[in-house]
Chain A
Amino acid sequence: MSDFEFDVAILGGGPAGLSAAARAAQRKLTHVVLESAAKHANTIQQYQHRKHVMSEPGLLPLRSDIAFAAGRREAVLQAWEEGIRKTNAQIRYEAEVTAITGRQGEFSLALKAGGAVRARNVILALGVQGNPRRLAVPGDEFPCVQTGLESADAHQGETIVIVGAGDAAIENALALAVQNRVILVNRRGDFPRAKDSNVTRLRRALDAGKLECVFRTEVNLIRRSPDGSSLPYQIVLRPPEVERVVDCHRVIARLGAIAPRRFVESVGVRFADERPDSLPDLSHRYESSVPGLFIIGALAGCPLIKQAMNQGYEVIEHLSGNPIDPADHPVLEAKLRPLLDGREVDAALSLIQDSVPTFAKLKPLALRELVLASKVVPVRKGRRIFARGEYASSVFHVLQGQVQLETDAGEPMLLREGQLFGEMSLISGRPHEIGAVAGPDCLLLETPHGTIKKLARIEPSVRSYIDRVFVLRALRLMLLPRARAETIHELSTCAQIHSIASGDTLFKQGDPIDRLYLLRSGSVTLSRATSAGEAPVAYCAAGNFVDVAGCTPAVRARTVTARATVAAEALSIDYASFRKLLSSDEALQRKVQVEQEQQLAAYARMKAQPGAGDVLSFLMSNGVGEATNVLVIDELLCVGCDQCETACAQTHEGVSRLDRRAGPSFYSLHLPTSCRHCEHPHCMRDCPPNAIHRLPDGEVFIDETCIGCGNCEESCPYGVIQMAEVPPRVGLLERLLRRGPTEAAKTAVKCDMCKDLKSGPACVNACPTGAAIRIHAEDVVSLARTRASAVR
């Protein structure tokens, strides 16, 4: 040991690294934190001033010698600074490590500034955002060039050039445009990396002339302005045609961070696969494929501060010869109680992994995360788990016992241990097509949609398993309820899944009919080409066949174009196989014939009313295609009394969740800014405390555990979520004694469809003239048709 300077070297002075260092100091391990920046917690230092820092997940206890609680950025940073001082954690600032060589017991860390640090063990707590990418053009070093923005309010009346096409660039540009002249420079022609909501906000601001955006343009150089210029710097841009010089005060480069993956791989650490978001292979003690080299925090796939701090603590305990259970152990123990039966938590987790094929290939850490977010629920025999027609917010796996799926036709399907159900609603975002009833000794793992969707994004094996189950079940339920299992398996081998972006086509008019499509999520409009462009003739929602009407032997080519109204997915089978099936299955023949008749009649009716197609296009272009419940105001009846807004405010702590005046109108139909309770709620995608839920009737609501992070507000493309100061409930006595909270915290508020009112949505109920109604996306066609006949 005397040959080496440190027992442990910690790369990165963020929360994970600091917590590890503080514990090492307590355990009397010789240690050093090597932080490339000049301050601790560099990422959080770059947050905007007074930004609220969250301490999720609430269930998990904090295990660290350094204090941490949710609060303002300044308070959090100060607490850590005090923690460093009190625990005597050793940190070297501006010490960037360029290479790590050696092996356990004799690692050598080369520093950029020269020299090396030797350590027996290494902890990588680098985070994923620490190293902002710079412009790398002449003049990049001028003080006017920055890679972050602390506070937009600090700048007024300046000319600021922002370079980048991601969310950070757009958000900075929008915030600064309020009080400054802003020019956003984008190397590409669009914003593929940015959230839809940000792109929408940007386009609105561009249309309103609030800022300028130049596309397909790169930065050539930055220089000081010649004497006599009013602005101190000049940035030279290189659009496709001719060079352009912009006088400016400041340049902000928001080009993302240099991911440390290459550096980590250079040390010898293996990653799960080649995808950019894949994670390093780690043991349950956070040890990588290189013995003695540990990875914690965001780099290990745990972006939450508390988790990262706990991991720092646990690694040091492990290195001190005191391997303790992870901090989530007691939480997991409580969750898994029905499954434990004398087993240890790890054994119960292995049991889940062995019996549930969906999770067979999950890494231990990912499985723990999944179970932490899920519930293990025993269900009595005969009890209904969900009914047909109910909206879903979870998927289920059978851990023990049996479950019966009730289908419309044919025998009920019997599910056994390890099998998945509820996947159809997960994918379609629509109500359950079938019901599920518990069999004997039934124990289920119930996982929220948000968790499983996130897992499917980062773990391809989960995605492909769910898809496989979906294909088999969809073929059975929608097409061949009475077919033998082998037939379905055979057919599933030729099935394909197609993802279509909003506005793209699944097929075009005139295309040969080679596949039968079943829409599994999103919706499409079917339209025919006319002299005035495309005229919609039908709307097709998830769970339906697309243009079965065209699938008759006499028709060789598509007579309609199918265009996605929102991001959609379709399952398809080869048309030849379908025809073969059709000839041998009379029930299927009848079913297809009925659908064909209905679709052909619908096409004809729509075509007879040209205005209806226009109304349908308007509704679809405003996102009604993904709505489960949308407020539509008839302007022919609306007297502008604002009773809808007043009713909303009066029933929701004085804050109206709808803005009647805002929103588009067409054919005297008005879509006010109000929640549409989307099939796949955008707001639920990234809610750290899982505070957004969906009720069986479809209502999407935010509960009181909202921490006010604003993710949902940003994710919602329809601008229906607002961050509002809901006044705290303070009792009379507390008010008299001036105790209790005085400052209202900002939380996200949105329409909850008045789920607690027996009389239904207050906005609709309070409308005196019947102008306000709430409809489902499936009603749009009849709405379009009645509108077209009402307004001429």
Chain B
Amino acid sequence: MKIKFNLNGKNVELEAPAEKKALDILKELHINSVRKGCDEEGKCGNCSILLDGKLVNSCLLIAPQINGKNITTVEALSKGGKLHKIQQAFIDAGIVQCGYCTPAQILAVKALLDEVKKPSRQQINDALSGVLCRCTGYKQIYNALDIITKGKKPKDFTREYKKDYRVVGKITEKIDALQMVKAENSYVEDYVAPDALHIYVLGSPYPHAEIISIDTSGAEKMEGVEYILTHKNSPKTWYTQAGQSYPEPSPYDQQVINAKMRFIGDRVAAVAATSLELAKKAALKIKVRYKVLKPVFSIEEASAPGAPVIHDRDAKKLDPLDVGAIPKKNIICRNSGGIGDMDKGFKKAAVIAEAACSTPPVQHTPMEPHTAYAYMKNGRLIIHTSVQTPFHVRRIVANILGLAENKVRVIKEKVGGGFGAKQDCGVEDLVGTIAYQSGRPVYYRISRKDEFTIRTRPAMFMTVKAGADKSGKLTALSIKTKIDSGGYGPHALTVPMNGCSKTLPLFTCENMSYEVAAYYTNNIVSGAYQGYGVPQTNFTVHIVLAQLAQKLGMKFEDFLSKNLVTKGYRIDILKQLGEGREGLAQKLSSCGLQECIKQGLKKYNTWTNKKSSLGDDIVQGKGMAVMMQGSGIPGLDAANAMVKMISDGTFMLYIGGADLGTGEDTVAAKIAAEELGVNQEQIAVTAADTDTTPFDKGSYASSGTFFTGNAAYVAARNMKKLIIQSAANILKLKPSQVKIMPVGKVGTKSKNMTFKELALATQAGDGAGQLISSGAFTTQKSPIPYAAHFCQVSVNKRTGMVKVDKYHALHDCGVPINPDLAKGQVYGGVLKTIGHTLYEGMEFDKGGKCLTDTFTDYPIQNINDMPEDFEVELIEVADSITPYVGKSIGELACDGASACISVAINNACGIWMKHWPFRPEKILKELDGNGARG
């Protein structure tokens, strides 16, 4: 049918089938801002448009419904070079993180402000209720509204740090925020050529099966079907998809397409065709005969004598590291160790507590699903992708295809949320293989349904036992963890190991032990997730410690404070807690934990548990938790950077680090600007392109700010030396006389030149050449970030519903380099983990099929889920490792919610919730068992 509509002020007339979605029509008209975050459920709202001024989901509209209408998208808001005030306020308030949902949020605010000049919090919540965001925690949206409607300034919400610095610690714009708020080409989907083939993957219907035969002839005959990959023509290289530094502590247990299926959805075949619909139709014509094998769905089944063997590879021959694998027993890895004497520790204890807790798989739900686009150019394989580890992906794909690494280029585009899900080479192995083998450009964007099962936090089972003497001093602490890794084993060791290495070192206890093991099952594959195994383990540790405090009649905060590490403490247990290697014992160069607790308690102690006006069923309780993370892995992680002075005296900074929305590029730019004596605007960043930027291990393990930031520091410091040397030569001064004078000058007070003059002089025909510096950052010391979280909850004893009323998070993040973005990450991490604690959890039927692979069955938080009183405070803590020690923040933010919520629930009604999520039925069961419902 012919339809006409007005799009951003211009009349459009086109032919479209009646059933065609408005989202698809707009995408074909190059409207980037309509982003597809759900499978057209109308749940994520990332595809929002204004239809005759009303905010609607374009995925829920078909062609005739936009006929004759006026459509406004974010693309129309900025006029010329000037941003709309809402776009500018989003940047100023530091809201923009990954940016995938940002255009929709901006439109939601526009629709609101078009109707109401000074909206209330309730009106703001309602206006934003249809746009899901997994990064920001929503809180700073209120700040943007206050900037627009009340004339407030960013400094009214976020304080600045480091008085003696000009750029670091100050509120500045995120360097890529402009392109996000304008919806310029940013993500992989924005760059795909029209002739690219689309991939559809036929997944295994069985959790455990062998392919006896596969017939693709029916599909191949279909016009438009260009290539089909099955186990027959798949490369035979064994590898791990885990995006970790080589040699990886993850097993080499996978091929691009295997002949054996190990979970429902495992790749059977991948069809590349001229459209996704065609690829899907063709895939359904593929005839497959399976030998169905007995599946195992739990660790108990997998470890039982005579259990079906899921992988029968020779681990010693294939795996790059010996992590204790026994594939024939479905054991992926094992590790154990400790310090002191556990028997002695428990004998010394006056009180002992023990808890066995479990957590189910939970999903990252980045708003942008896994996406990659690949093609061949001049004999080289080029991959544009949404990934956290472009250099690992280059190595993995080159290895799979038997290519030299310089024949593969990986370009990380903007990442619409990662949270660990995109740490792995999860789709690039397939896309790269098909592009290489077929010679055609190919595009693969997985559905939301498939995103739910591509990676999850693993199901994890923890038993923690601890003892304390009468004074409340811990005498022994042990952690035993098992994880169900599913059909393959990426991160199977590092997830449970992190659970131990980021909890045990919180305490000064002299006797500590750990034991971890990971198992294959025929469940979906788990992997890295923001926080690794720490949120789960810290939750279990807190239950046990709170029980000890209760037994001793001590306040929990007093008990914790008695046992926590402080600056200067030597953490010996870290030596044992490496990731498949020996770790590094560390003397604490800084620790702001006690200060976080002290500051937090000031408000926490004023919170009283009130009786609800809603009736006797509702009781309140409060709780607190402490936590730590790392800032990358000392002795293992590495980052590099390069700085070029260009001819007007500004700089190009090249970093390998992969900003996934968290502001890593901005961190690097700020540090370089600070060091070089220029403003942030004088540093432009090119990042995460394996051809043009230096190596960086990628963004994971909380390493971005510390490692990539300090690589930028070293490169800038080296550039500074070059500037001083060159200026001294030109100005005929001694280098020792010459100083950099912010902003953008070098020399002495009486004799100096601008950076532009220096650049022109060095780059001239008679100059010494362009100033180019590089910097590498590796370290044996990594600063440990700490935090204390406090919450108050309401529990409805009749229904089992739990609501978080108050949540305060105080973080020692070293020098807060990017204060508003740092706070935003904490808000986002906390809100996400409240969801994991209270209701998120993947469910499966008895046959291993996922029942929660939509946002309807697996709801995530919207703006209305925020606690009413939700605050984040950054505590500045100096550390001597480098001048710019920004400790990590994103992962740490996830480590406290379930711990302090479980303590608060116990405070409210006396029960201990030991199994995520704390859904109402579980609460009721505990209340029944406790006789506490009344």
Bound pair (A, B): no
